[in-house]
Amino acid sequence: MWRALFDKIYVEKKALDDPGTKEILDRAGETDPIVIEHYKDVFDIKSSDGNARNSLILARNPGRRLYEGAPVCQSFGNEHFYYSPSVMNCIYDCEYCFLKGMYPGRDICVFTDLEETFSELDELEKEHPAYVCASYNTDLMALEDLTGYVGKWCERAAGHENLSVEIRSKCSRTDIYARLPVSERAIFAFTLSPDEIISRFEKGTPMLEGRMRALNAAMNAGFPVRICFDPMIYVRNWKDYYRNMADIVANGTDLSAVKDISIGTFRISDQYLKNMRKKMPCSEIAQYPYVSEGGYYQYPDVVRLAMEDFMKSEILDRCPRAGIYDWR
Ligand code: SF4
């Protein structure tokens, strides 16, 4: 399956002998990858014919492995909040995804030296508890059969008391949770959207029902589960869509057993939105007249607050004990 998904598979010369590289090449069924000097020789280059290229690149991470979270990211009350870009880019294709403003194309680059990230964490964990979003620049669960990184992060969290990990996903697979080492410090976060929004703006992702099945599988296996109604997208009839979704979610799972629920409307850094507007001149999402505040674009307050308050009250009406995380 994986080999068919990618046009070409590249490996950095210095990563060729890494055990992580070999594992991924095996899983991808690739015996003769194209060897390159540096991942940026491919990843940072726009395809010459203007079509989106779809390559897999295996490389070593030459830069930072842990970044402190940006202000628009929800830290969920964790003082030492990081994200780890072990994979850059995603097999899904959400129209609003900030990765479209961050990276030049659709190539997926996997850093095969995850152990180096864990070594950096060894030092951090000696100083203070660390909370790491491991699925930040990708959907790590959607790539799990290729990388095995979700399993590695879960193992790490289970064995390290000073580490909590969030794996955020739209993936609908249900088979994996019972096989992962369960820990209260490995949080599975599911981004839920109305089917109307999924069909229009979250290309290639599972529909709401599939995501709900996965959420219940994670919860049944004993993992803490987070629900993210985030980003909410402003469209005509948004209230009908999000109200209907609240019904489906409240009927489909026990909201009082969910660890927490986050609610947020679309927001994005100035620079990423500028890049997206150039790339996607006809995109309803990229071309919306957002307001800029503190380096980020967001909906005008009248829209943003109306949507977030609406969603909050729809959930609390159905489950007064639901733990909504208030990050404002
Ligand atoms: S699933 Fe997440 S990372 Fe992947 S394209 Fe959608 S928003 Fe981006």
The CA distance from 129 to 143, in Å, is: 27
pLDDT tens by residue, 134-190: 998 999 999 999 999 999 999 999 999 999 999 999 999 999 999 999 999 999 999
Query: Does residue 9 lie within any of the structural domains?
Result: no
* Count of structural domains within the chain: 1
Instruction: Please give the backbone phi and psi of residue 230, each rounded to the nearest 5 degrees, phi first.
Output: -165, 120
Domain assignment present for 210? yes
Can you give the residue range of the structural domain that contains 226? 61-325
User: Cα of 127 to ligand 1 centre, how many Å?
Assistant: 32
Question: pLDDT category, 48, cuts 50, 70, 90?
Answer: low
Q: How far is the CA of 73 from the centre of ligand 1 (A)?
A: 14
Give the single-character DSSP code of 39: T
Is residue 277 domain-resident?
yes
Residues 193-241 have pLDDT tens digits of: 999 999 999 999 999 999 999 999 999 999 999 999 999 999 999 999 9
Q: How far is the CA of 7 from the centre of ligand 1 (A)?
A: 20
Q: What are phi and psi of 198, to 5 degrees?
A: -60, -50
Least confident of 42-51, 261-270, 308-317: 42-51
| Mean pLDDT to the nearest integer, 22-43 | 94
Which ligand 1 atom sits closest to the C-alpha of 137? 3
- Quick check: is 51 in a domain? no
Q: From ligand 1's centre to the CA of 138, what distance in Å?
A: 6
pLDDT at 298: 97
Kindly tell me if the per-residue pLDDT of 74 is higher than 70.
no
Which of 49-53, 225-229, 291-295 is predicted with the least confidence, judged by mean pLDDT?
49-53
Examine residue 16 and state whether it is found in any structural domain, yes or no.
no
Residue 53 forms part of a structural domain = no
> Ligand 1 atom closest to Cα of 90?
4
Q: How confident is the model at residue 325, as a pLDDT?
A: 85
CATH code of 116's domain: 3.80.30.30
Residue 19 belongs to a domain: no
pLDDT at 291: 97
Q: Which residues line ligand 1 (CB under 6 A)?
A: 90, 92-94, 97, 99, 138-139, 170
In a domain, 255, yes or no: yes
Mutating to test ligand 1, I would choose from 96, 100, 139 the residue with most ligand atoms within 8 A of its C-beta, which is 139
| Arithmetic mean of pLDDT, 295-302 | 96
Instruction: Check residue 17 and give its pLDDT.
Output: 93
- The DSSP line for 62-93 is -S-S-EEPPTTS--TT-SSEEE--SEES-SSE
Neighbours of 205 (CB within 10 A): 24
